[in-house]
Structures are given as C-alpha cells and as structure tokens.
Amino acid sequence: MSFELAIDWPTFLATAWQKKPVVIRQAFRDFQDPISPDELAGLAMENEVDSRLVSQTAAGWQVAHGPFSDFDHLSESHWSLLVQAVNHWHPAAAELMQPFRALSDWRMDDLMISFSVPDGGVGPHLDQYDVFIIQGAGRRRWRVGNNDVVAQHSPHPDLLQVAPFEAIIDEVLEPGDLVYIPPGFPHEGYSLENSLNYSVGFRAPSGKELLSGFADYVLAQELGSRRYQDPTLGLRDNPASILTEEADSLRAMISGLVDSEDFTPWLGEFLSQSRHELDIAPPQPAYQEDEVRDALEEGTPLHRIGGLKVLQLASHTFINGERFSSTVPGFLNLLATTTEIDAEQLSPFIEENSVLTQLTGLINAGYWHFAGEEEEGDE
C-alpha cells in the first residue's frame, strides 16, 4: 500500500512550517486505513509497544498504560487508545511516513495512531514539536488556538493540558483530511464517531538533550582530558575573584570540544538512535554470505525494518547509533535513501566481497530482511 500526499512542499514550507496551523482537505485522496482498530488493540497488548488509554469520566481524567490484557471494561464514549511508533511494528502503516521523508529522515520521529470513540480525546494541550495529523475512518473535530498560550496544568499526573482557548481553526476532519500543527499551538480533538487518527511527529531535540548526550560521548571516549592552563597568571587585588579572561578560557575549553572533529560522529550517532524500541528480529539461523548472494541473484528484494534511521552526515553513514563506512562508492547511499531495495539495485555492488560481508552483517543484525520474511511475524 502506498500513499500520495497532495501538498506543495515549497509553498507549505514558506507559508506554514513552524509559522501557522493549516488544514489540508483531501491531502490523501481516497484514503484507506492501513490498520484496523482490532490490529491497533492487538499492538497495545504487546510488551514492547508503548501505548496508553486516556478516558474522561465523572471522576475526571484517567490514564492507563499498556500492555493491556483486554478492553471489555470500556464504555461506548469518552476514551481514546493511543499507540506510539506503530511504524516500527506494522509495515503497512509505516508506508504513511514515506511522503513526509521530503522533510528529512532525521527530523521525523514516529507514527502515533489513535482509535477514539465518540467524545474521545486527550483534552486541550500543546506539543513542542511539529505534527501532521491525518484523519482516517470516522470524523473528528479539531480546534487549534494561537501560540500565545503558555500556562499548563495536570488534571492527571500523566496528562499535561492547557486552559480553554479561542480557536483560530475549528474544523471537522473527514477521511483523507490533514491538519498541521506547529510547536506551541494549543489544540484539542474530539471524535464525533468511532475514528482513527494518524499523527506523524517530528523530532526536536532540546539544548539540554544535546549537551547531555555529547557529555556522555565525551566521557565514554575519554575526550577533553586536557586541563586548564594559565602560564601568564598574575596577581589580583581580590583573591576571591574569577577574572573575565579566565572565565573565557574555561568556556573555550567546552566550545573547543563542540568545535572539534569529534562532534560530527557523535551527532550522527545521536540523531540516528530511535526514541522507541525497534522490531529487531535477527534471523535464526544467521545468513551466510553465499545465501545472501543467492537470494539477491534470485531477485528477492530487501526491506528495511520500520523506524530504523539511516542517516548521512559529512562522509559518514549512521545506522541506529553506529557509524559505518565503505570503500565502494554508492553502496551506503543506497541503504540510506531506499527503504525497499530491489536486487537489481544491489547488483553493481554485490560482487565486492566487502559489500557482501557488510550487507550480510546488517541482515543478521535484524536491520534488513528479505521480502516475505515479515509475513509470519505479522500474523
């Protein structure tokens, strides 16, 4: 199943991206849901999958976290089941991410899918990342406010909401419609009937996440061992004072690490790590190189597992937090740009022993699999 998104990206980026929320009617024409409510509920029963159930009762807001054993206790209204990173576990749903690759792989986070009954929602809230919300089966009313709302409160320890706001968008979305919401714009959606929604979220690391991640890398690699020096030290009137030039020198020691050649490999490793668990299932038994060659010569395509980030920065390629290199031009670029690789695309490379060895290792790591191998696990 493939999805075609009717959007003029240059115009959208110039007029809407991180500027204003917009509704795009029939962004996906003749939209067909890639997943059923029963399949979504099945995923929410799995230990590896991040899911939650949000409901509103007379006693207030309630939140329960999966995995769930059953849903028999639920009423016919006022609840939503939300499942994160469905693109990691459901290949058909993962196809919804493809049209958004135009905005770069490293910025895309995951596909969250929600099933809601009438009046189901999570209340008025705001996000600190860009999100495209696609309407699947059913209808849902969306209200979006301006980005001048900052006060948040927690009606439940696991919910962060905002006060009621004046809407600048108040629309009912139908299958195939899409609403884009930039960071900081409050919004709320309530189902008018049983409905499915698909949220494509974008990653936006904070400064403290970057600093913390790089600090961990510096420690692990034993970098930054050079100590502070002051060969021109002089006397001062106040022994308690730290001189401005001394503070500048200390700051330069930190910025020197960030400006060093070590920052680029760390950044690639950091950004290529998934925030959610991947559906990694190494083949048993492991493939031998000649078996990989035979499968490719028979024309069997290779599929990348859902949610795996393959990124390129400078001369490096990064796969799930690891740095890779190849002496064969174009091979790693093919892995990075293509999620489903035809055997014919690999034929120019496969005669190189180093490529065959590297490809076999990636298959045995569970990052790529031959077409058809996922079917048994999806049943």
- What's the rounded Cα separation, in Å, for the pair 113 and 40? 8
HSE-up of 231 (CA within 13 Å, CB side)?
0
Both tokens assigned to 142: 């969306």
pLDDT at site 118: 98
Cβ of 184: how many Cβ atoms within 10 Å?
Answer: 15
| CB burial of residue 153 (10 Å; 0-12, 13-18, 19+) | exposed
104 Cβ neighbours under 8 A, 6+ residues apart: none
- What's the rounded Cα separation, in Å, for the pair 356 and 360? 6
37 Cβ neighbours under 8 A, 6+ residues apart: 115, 194, 196
pLDDT per 10-residue tile (average), the chain, 379 residues: 93 98 97 98 97 94 96 94 98 96 96 98 94 98 91 94 95 98 96 98 95 96 94 94 95 95 96 94 95 93 96 94 92 95 91 93 97 57
- What's the rounded Cα separation, in Å, for the pair 303 and 289? 17
The answer to whether the CB of 232 falls within 8 A of the CB of 179 is no
Cβ of 270: how many Cβ atoms within 10 Å?
Answer: 18
Same CATH topology for 9-202 and 289-378?
Answer: no
Phi, psi values for residue 96, rounded to 5°? -65, -20
- The DSSP 8-state label assigned to residue 153 in this structure reads E
322 Cβ neighbours under 8 A, 6+ residues apart: 269, 272
- What's the rounded Cα separation, in Å, for the pair 15 and 262? 37
97 Cβ neighbours under 8 A, 6+ residues apart: 87, 108, 111, 200
Please identify which residue in the block is written with the tokens 């048993």. Answer: 284
The CATH classification number of 289-378 equals: 3.40.366.30
Please identify which residue in the block is written with the tokens 């031009």. Answer: 329
Protein fold of 9-202: Jelly Rolls (2.60.120)
Nearest CA-CA partner of 153 in 126, 183, 175, 189? 126
Question: Which one-letter amino acid corresponds to residue 42?
Answer: G
- Domain coordinates of the chain in residue numbers? 9-202, 289-378
pLDDT at site 374: 56
Q: Which residues on adjacent β-strands are paired with residue 24?
A: 178
Phi, psi values for residue 212, rounded to 5°? -65, -45
